[in-house]
Structure formats: structure tokens, C-alpha cells
Structure 1
Amino acid sequence: MILKDFIKICEENDLTYYMYAGSLLGAIRHNGFIPWDDDLDVIMFRDDFERFKKIFIASNNDKYELLCNETNEDYFHLLAKLMLKGTKFEEPWVSQVDFHIGINMDIFVLDDLAEEGFKRNYQLKKSFWYNKLMIMSKIKLDNLPIVTKVITHAGYHILNLFRINPSTLNRKCLNFLKKYKNPNATHVFDISATAEEYPQIFRKEDFKSVTRVKFEDIEVNAPINYDYILKSLYGDYMQLPPEEDRYNHITETLDFGPYK
């Protein structure tokens, strides 16, 4: 339902989206949800995403809430969540923040990336740290190795001592990314998907157009070169993982509200 309503908004406003990550994998390998998965992922180019935010916020939607830093300054992710009002899908850290998480769909963003060399490395490293610092400024993660836990807790206290919050870091990050906006960029990256050291990088040409694929009972947009993208994310993506690697989110509270 959330996906269908999101697509309706995009189609009415000439916005382009693509299925992404596990949802793209599910569409290609399972023609819908991965059987053990519990979320939805889409991705948009920065310009479309910024337009979507403005359109949605101005609409005063009575069914959904858009969780992003513009709507809640304590929100600490660089992706957005389209959440179903009256529901809960809360992870263990929710007690540390003043916002709730409803059953939702993640909206990731593609930003232009500098060409190979010093500028690209600098852009990736700085983006990586903006992402980590936003999280560190708001929550203390306890399920980490002891050294990492001590470092992140120290970072949390230092950032809060100097009143550096997710909103401040989000503004700085977006201003930083604007410096690299380039219609002729050959590569783009998902700033919020950090894989050990760097965010996920893609060729821009792989998103130059869409192809329609089946997802449950509807057709959805996939990047034209979804095969290359899925291979870069998952390797031999048509091969099912072993059962011990089939997992979903750790949920503290799940409430379907009026949708039970």
C-alpha cells in the first residue's frame, strides 16, 4: 500500500524513482518481497528527491508522515522514511529520540560524484563522516565491540557538549554535496549506504532510464541496468543465501494500528 501510494505521488508530479537494494533484488529474484525481508527501499536522484519532499510537505498528507531532517531536526539519517500514520515499527534505539518510527518505506538518494582522484576520495570520506557523525550525535549504540562502543559514546558526549546536532550536520552535508553537482558526472553514489569505508558507488548510465518489472501485483520502476547494480551490491544475486544469513530488522515495537 505504501509503495503504491508513493508511486501515485511520483507519477502525478513527473518524479522518477527506482526500486533499490533488497526491494530491487526482491523484484528481480522473487517478483516481489524477499520472503524473509520486512521493508521497502526506493532511490531517487537528488533533484527528484528534493522536489518530492517539497510536494509532500506542502500536501499536509493525512495518511503518511515523511521523516527526514527537514521535518524533525533530531532525525539522524541521510535517507528519508515515508511512514504510515497510526503505526509503529520501532527499533531498540527509539527510546533515545523524540520521534517515533511507523511502518515505512526507505527513500535513498543518489548524488553526483567527482571524477577519479583526490576530489572523489575527499568527497567520499567527508560524506562518510557526515553520515556517521549524524548518527553518533543523537544515539548511543550499545551492541558494539567494546572499543567501538567507547569511541562512539565519547563522540556522542563531545558532539552534544558543543551542541552539534543532526540538523546542523545535515545542512553542512547538503551544502558540501552541492559543490559536486554536475550534470555531466559519470558516477553517482548513495551517501547513506556506507559499506565499511565508502558509500555505495554506481555508474550514472545505469540509471539513465527505467525498465518495468513485476513486484507482487503491480509493475514498478527498476534501473535500466539493474543486473550490473545488483551484481555490484550482492554478487551472484540470483543465488539464495544460506538460511543463517536470512534476517530482518530487530524490532522493539510493531503495531499495525488501524491496519491490523
Structure 2
Amino acid sequence: MKYNEYDDKILKHLQSLELMILKDFIKICEENDLTYYMYAGSLLGAIRHNGFIPWDDDLDVIMFRDDFEKFKKIFNSPNDKYKLLSIETEKDYFHLLSKLMLNNTKFEEKWVNQVDFNIGINIDIFVLDDLSDNKLKRSFQLKKSFLYNKLLIMSKIKLDDLPFITKVITHVGYHILNLFRIKPSTINKKCLSFLKKYKNPNAEYVFDISANANEYPQIFRKSDFESIKRIKFEDIEVNVPANYDYILKSLYGDYMQLPPKEDRYNHITETLDFGPYEL
């Protein structure tokens, strides 16, 4: 279990700030004709709770690669309120997802002392990439993408909250990558170049490359995302994939059933600082 029992007022305030970030993100998307969808726990929250999962402390959205690249270009300008955290903006950043971060706040996990960037309250922006229609090529693409994801993480941080053997392997990988001075940016460039080989507007399948260190990339049919439904999320309406049922079953199984407390997940933060947005 990776679960932090927040004081109720603190969690509600954190969620309110994440909702503010989401609203600003949606405004940018709508003004620039970009498509987004609620994703992962936030998609589940929209469907099951019409808002946040009660114990959840983050927000997840997902975009197709082309829309995300356009979003990055639009957002690539000075902004007093937000920063887009990505491999392009921070040399130590080690995720294949990006984060829209609220400036002058802190939402830091225990690995923060291993990197040279600050992380504030944010929403996660995942990306959908095309998969090959050829079964063998698709299997190769998934395996190589999984490897890139693990290498990117290992290039910057030592993972300690893993089973012993896995932890030893990741620590060895960390030291080898650092010994040969292989940077996250190098791995990221190779990964993006690899993904471009399979770019196909008519691809049947897409996938989320940015799975966690121990998870295989999530595969979906592109058609699952081709239509949008509008669903209530707290005090706004948000985009969800029309075939959200298939997506949520793929991610969570019987997703309408509340999990027992020992199977609930959120982030174990070292530092949570609301900065100028204090309670």
C-alpha cells in the first residue's frame, strides 16, 4: 500500500488547487482546439464519484501526441503562475509524462533530494502514441518502450520502495548509467525518435508509454478515444473517452467497487507547501 492519510481540510484544499490547475489547462485546450481526456484515477473519479476519488491527491489527463506537442509550443512562454515540467525543461526530469505545476508551491516525494528541480502541486499530462498494427512489431515496440521508461527513471534516481531483487537491479542500473554519464535527455531523445517510426494516423492501437517503473505500457484501441463524452467533475464538466468503460476495466477491473483501504493509493509526500495559496 502506498497511502497517505491526509487531514481532511488539507486534502480538500490540495484538491481545490489541482482543480484550479485543471480549469486553466482546459481553458488553454479549448482556446487552441486541443483535445484532452480525463485519465487513470481522475477518469475513475469522474465516472464513479463525479469528481475526485475521496482519498486521491492528484489529477491525470491524457492527450494524443500531436495535441500534446502543440500544447508544449503554446505553453513555451514565461508564466508567473505555472511551469510545464518535462524532460525538455529540466535536465534531471525522468518521466515520460509531463506535469503542469503551480509555481511557488511544493508537492515533493522522498526522491526529491536526488534531483535538481523543484516539484510543486501539479496535474499529470500523459500522452498516447501510435502502436504498430503488426503484432510482432507491436510486441517489440512495447518491450523497447518499457525499457526506455525504466532506463529514464534509473538514470536519475535510486528506487528504494521495491522488492529486494528489483531494488538491487535498479540500483545497479543507476550506477552504470551514471558511470557512463548517460543523461535522461539522451534516453528521452532516443525514445521519441523510436516512437516516431510508428507514427500512423490510421493506427488501430495506441498506448501510454509512461507507466510506472514496474508496469507494462497500457494499450488501448484508438477508437476508444475518438468520441468524447462530457461528464461532471466537481463543479465543472470534463472530457472523457466515449468508451471509458473498456478503458477503466483495462486499468482497474471492477472499477465501480470501492477498494479496501489496504489497496488504496495516493502519494507519500515529504513536503506539501501551499505557498501563497495557503489555507
Q: Which TM-score band applies after superposition, normalised by the shorter structure?
A: over 0.9
Secondary structure of 1:82's counterpart equals strand
1:131 to 135, 140, 149: 149
Query: Given that residues 153 and 213 in structure 2 are in contact (C-alpha distance below 8 angstroms), is that contact kept between their aligned partners in structure 1?
Result: no
Distance 1:247 1:194, change over 3 A: closer
Larger mean CA deviation between 36-45 and 114-123 belongs to 114-123
Equivalent position of 1:29 in the other structure: 48
Larger mean CA deviation between 68-77 and 143-152 belongs to 143-152
Deviation of the 1:246 alpha carbon = 2.2
Equivalent position of 1:50 in the other structure: 69
Deviation of the 1:183 alpha carbon = 0.8
Deviation of the 1:144 alpha carbon = 2.3
Secondary structure of 2:127's counterpart equals strand
Secondary structure of 1:253's counterpart equals strand
Deviation of the 1:116 alpha carbon = 4.2
Identity of aligned residues (%): 82
Query: Given that residues 31 and 215 in structure 1 are in contact (C-alpha distance below 8 angstroms), is that contact kept between their aligned partners in structure 2?
Result: yes
Aligned residues: 259
Describe the superposition over 1:120-172 as per-residue Cα deviations: whole angstroms up to 9, x where unpaired: 01100000000000000000112223322222111111111111111000000
Larger mean CA deviation between 121-130 and 192-201 belongs to 192-201
Equivalent position of 2:274 in the other structure: 256
Q: Do structure 1's residue 122 and structure 2's residue 149 form an aligned pair? A: no
What is the distance in 2 between the residues matched to 1:21 and 1:146?
A: 28
Query: Given that residues 83 and 102 in structure 1 are in contact (C-alpha distance below 8 angstroms), is that contact kept between their aligned partners in structure 2?
Result: yes
Unaligned 5+ runs, structure 1: none
Equivalent position of 1:236 in the other structure: 254
Return the TM-score normalized by structure 2: 0.91
Deviation of the 1:12 alpha carbon = 0.8
Deviation of the 1:11 alpha carbon = 0.6
Describe the superposition over 1:184-222 as per-residue Cα deviations: whole angstroms up to 9, x where unpaired: 100100000258562000010010021100000000000
Equivalent position of 1:176 in the other structure: 194
Secondary structure of 1:252's counterpart equals strand
What is the distance in 1 between the residues matched to 2:265 and 2:138?
A: 34
Equivalent position of 1:106 in the other structure: 124
Task: Name the aligned partner's letter for residue 147 of structure 1.
Answer: I
Deviation of the 1:77 alpha carbon = 0.2
Secondary structure of 1:193's counterpart equals coil
Task: Name the aligned partner's letter for residue 42 of structure 1.
Answer: V
Secondary structure of 1:201's counterpart equals strand
1:8 to 27, 31, 43: 27
What is the distance in 2 between the residues matched to 1:13 and 1:203?
A: 25
1:167 to 161, 175, 185: 185
Deviation of the 1:243 alpha carbon = 2.1
Equivalent position of 1:151 in the other structure: 169
What is the distance in 2 between the residues matched to 1:51 and 1:156?
A: 33
Secondary structure of 1:192's counterpart equals coil
Query: Given that residues 150 and 213 in structure 2 are in contact (C-alpha distance below 8 angstroms), is that contact kept between their aligned partners in structure 1?
Result: no
Moved over 6 A (4+): none
Query: Given that residues 32 and 214 in structure 1 are in contact (C-alpha distance below 8 angstroms), is that contact kept between their aligned partners in structure 2?
Result: yes
Task: Name the aligned partner's letter for residue 163 of structure 1.
Answer: R
Secondary structure of 1:110's counterpart equals strand
Distance 1:12 1:197, change over 3 A: closer
Secondary structure of 1:247's counterpart equals coil
RMSD between aligned residues: 1.1
